[in-house]
Amino acid sequence: MLPWNVLTNNYSMLTIGTYVLIGLVVLVLIFAKAAIVIIPQSETKIIERLGRYYATLKPGINVIIPFVDRAKTVVTMNRGRYVYSNSIDLREQVYDFDKQNVITKDNIQMQINALLYFQIVDPFKAVYEINNLPNAIEKLTQTTLRNIIGEMELDQTLTSRDIINTRLRGVLDDATNKWGIKVNRVELQDIIPPQSVLQAMEKQMQAERDKRAIILTSEGTKQSQILKSEGEKAAIINRAEADKQQAILRAEGEAQARIRKAEAEAVAIDKITEAVGNSTNPANYLLAQKYIQMMQELATGDQNKTVFLPYEATNVMGSLGGIKELFKNS
């Protein structure tokens, strides 16, 4: 049987060995955690080894040397505030700048704010070519916007947003190219002139609206009068055409009636000729018949007080005979 002191020493050595083993495992885990770097998609990190650029990490699992390699800390913008981070976002980012005062070519002061959409395409340049990238982009945007607006008058500024956006994007893209930045687009949000200018613009727009209303009213009246005159003209033409057609039809009707009457009289003459034979002239018979009819109308009329007789004696005798027959019939 071993002495008590030997057992105690063995137990102490076992306990120390256990602690050492546990410590080594912990150190390995800490080392592994520090050595393994997982990069999310669309992000990266700049690794410096002993203060010098070493590598740009890619998305996925990356291995570095703990306490020797470290991620470079950069300045980023988060919700309008500058913050420090060791991760670089490679997605398109948007900066919403505060309103700033600008002066137009015709010395009108106004406030403008803009949205800038950009993307980091070269993380190395974005870290080592410029200090405080968000602040540099903001200041460059403000100065460029002042220069562009200073070359334009107020009216042109208010109506040329697309031109301003295009020029601003081109200048910023060229200037930030050396920083590894790609400016995709720039959008002007608000262009706010002074209150006095806004009131003058409102009066001008009201005057333009009134002028347009007067012009539209006069044009409507003019068109109405034109349409009315054209309608009256068409109505006159239609009435004239109707009268013309009516006169033509009336004349044709009268002509047809005369033709039918003449045809009837011709038939009557033929009948009379057959009846009287050669004893008398059928024309004289017809004339006497007409004369008797006329005398009947004169005798029966209320306003007719005078009867005209033919001058020739033979006709007078014939007329008397006709009058005698008239009185007999009456």
Domain boundaries, the chain: 4-70, 75-193, 204-279, 280-330
In the chain, which residues have pLDDT < 70? Answer: 1-14, 17, 268-269, 272-330
Q: Determine the pLDDT at residue 327.
A: 38
Q: pTM for the full model?
A: 0.55
Q: Determine the pLDDT at residue 176.
A: 92
- Cβ proximity of 106 and 158 under 8 Å: no
Give, as one character, the DSSP assignment of residue 122. Answer: -
Q: Determine the pLDDT at residue 245.
A: 84
Q: Determine the pLDDT at residue 246.
A: 82
Q: How far apart are CA 95 and CA 107, in angstroms?
A: 28
Q: Determine the pLDDT at residue 312.
A: 47
- Cβ proximity of 69 and 56 under 8 Å: no
Q: Determine the pLDDT at residue 45.
A: 94
Tokens of 145: 């916007």
Q: Determine the pLDDT at residue 296.
A: 65
Q: How far apart are CA 179 and CA 121, in angstroms?
A: 9
* Burial status of residue 124 (CB atoms within 10 A of its CB: 0-12, 13-18, 19 or more): middle
Q: Which CATH architecture has domain 75-193?
A: 2-Layer Sandwich (3.30)
Q: How far apart are CA 246 and CA 239, in angstroms?
A: 10
Residue 158's closest CA among 213, 204, 117? 204
Q: How far apart are CA 56 and CA 44, in angstroms?
A: 7
Tokens of 89: 């976002």
Q: Determine the pLDDT at residue 323.
A: 41
Instruction: Write b or e for each residue in 21-35: b if 16 or more Cβ atoms lie within 10 A of its Cβ, otherwise e.
Output: eeeeeeeeeeeeeee
DSSP alpha helices (H): ranges in the chain? Answer: 4-35, 123-128, 133-150, 154-159, 161-176, 195-276, 282-300, 313-329
